[in-house]
Amino acid sequence: MESKHHNRTMMLSRVSLLVLGSYFILCLASCSSQKKLDAYSEIYSERPQVLYIAPLNDLSMRHAFRTIDDSIYNLSLNIAAKHLYLSAADPLIRHGYYLPGPLASAQIAATEWRTGKQLRNDDIKDYYTDLGIDAVLFITLHGWNATYNTWTVEVEYVLRSARTGNELFHVSVNAMKVLNTDFKGKLLPLREDVDFARRYGCDVETAQRCRLVEILNQYVLKDLPSGLKARQHTTEGYIPSHPEFFNLKIHPDGSVQMLKTELYE
């Protein structure tokens, strides 16, 4: 009897070890093989400390106003776009960079207004000489899409050095969020989405979009090397980095899965 129990416990331990090991292996395999030190070599050499997030370049389509639903849809997209901009600062601040807040950024943007094209192609050295900004992050929102139970957003992140004008970081992501449905086919929003809607005083649809872009920001910008003030700055160079193009799938249980795209391969 005791021997049977012993065997069962041994088996359980082996199975759990196997599960743990396979999970780690899967996690590692899902990441690209390129290390941060190689992928972001320019960031490591330039060591930017002060970042500035330029106003969002929103290229997503809005509905022409015909019914009240169109204006509600447009308002929802506007709020989600604003949230995309506002929530981009958090992961960077946590990484040890200096970033001005949204009100201060609005004041800077009012004096130093550039379009997305100008930020990408023109000389932005005056950001460094006049304002002391080391690098400018500009985010382009390409579009939203929604199918039966999936929300999709396409976002491009570019971090450009104001000192040298080089592109330090360039990532395009197609993020999708999958929702569960009940037996009648009705969508079941996540608890976090409902909490978010209650906290922000918006509808659940807007909250789902906002949470999607928030998770996307967290996932993408967390990959940047830590700033000079962070103690991980010198030790994290050998961690695998994200590829330049990828799809991101957010499951109903809240887990995030990165899928490589054909463009990358």
Partner 1 sequence: MECKRHIKAKKLSCISLIAFSSYFLLSLTACSGEYVGVSRADVLRYQTVPTYGALHELATSYAQSLNDAVRVDTLHPGMYAEYGVALALMGHTGTACRMLNAEMKAFPESRGLVERIKKRLMPDMLFDTLATPHDTANLAQLASWAYDSITALKPLPPVAPVIDSTDSVWISQQTPVDSIEYPIRLTATQKRELLEKQQAEEAARQQHVADSIAAVKQATIDARKQAQADREREKKEKEQARKAEQKAREQQREEERKQKAAQREEERKRKAAEREEAKNNKKKN
**Residues interacting with partner 1, by CB under 8 A?**
2-3, 5-6, 9-10, 12-13, 16-17, 19-20, 23, 49-50, 52, 78-79, 82-83, 86-87, 89-90, 93-94, 97-104, 107-108, 110-111, 130-133, 192, 199-201, 211, 214-215, 218-219, 222, 250, 254-256
Please report how close the Cβ of residue 131 comes to partner 1 at its closest, in angstroms.
4
Asked if 53 contacts 102 with a C-beta cutoff of 8 angstroms, the reply is no
C-alpha 187/C-alpha 51 separation (Å) is 39
Q: Running DSSP on this structure, what letter comes out for residue 240?
A: B
Structure tokens at 47: 């060591």
139 or 215: CB nearest partner 1: 215
160 or 211: CB nearest partner 1: 211
Asked if 47 contacts 95 with a C-beta cutoff of 8 angstroms, the reply is no
Please report how close the Cβ of residue 98 comes to partner 1 at its closest, in angstroms.
4
Give the SS3 label for residue 153: strand
C-alpha 259/C-alpha 265 separation (Å) is 11
29 or 263: CB nearest partner 1: 29
- 25, 31, 32, 35: CA torsion to nearest 10: -90
Please report how close the Cβ of residue 148 comes to partner 1 at its closest, in angstroms.
24
169 or 219: CB nearest partner 1: 219
From the list 56, 76, 70, 90, the residue with the least C-alpha distance to 208 is 76
Contacts (Cβ under 8 Å, ≥6 apart) of 217: 84, 87, 88, 90, 91
Please report how close the Cβ of residue 262 comes to partner 1 at its closest, in angstroms.
25
Please report how close the Cβ of residue 47 comes to partner 1 at its closest, in angstroms.
12
121 or 150: CB nearest partner 1: 150
Please report how close the Cβ of residue 201 comes to partner 1 at its closest, in angstroms.
7
Please report how close the Cβ of residue 34 comes to partner 1 at its closest, in angstroms.
21
* H or E element at residue 192: helix 191-200
Give the SS3 label for residue 33: coil
38 or 203: CB nearest partner 1: 203
65 or 263: CB nearest partner 1: 65
C-alpha 168/C-alpha 158 separation (Å) is 8
70 or 195: CB nearest partner 1: 195
Structure tokens at 16: 């759990």
Packed helices 191-200 and 204-221: angle between N→C axes, nearest 10 degrees:
110
Asked if 49 contacts 228 with a C-beta cutoff of 8 angstroms, the reply is yes
Please report how close the Cβ of residue 95 comes to partner 1 at its closest, in angstroms.
11
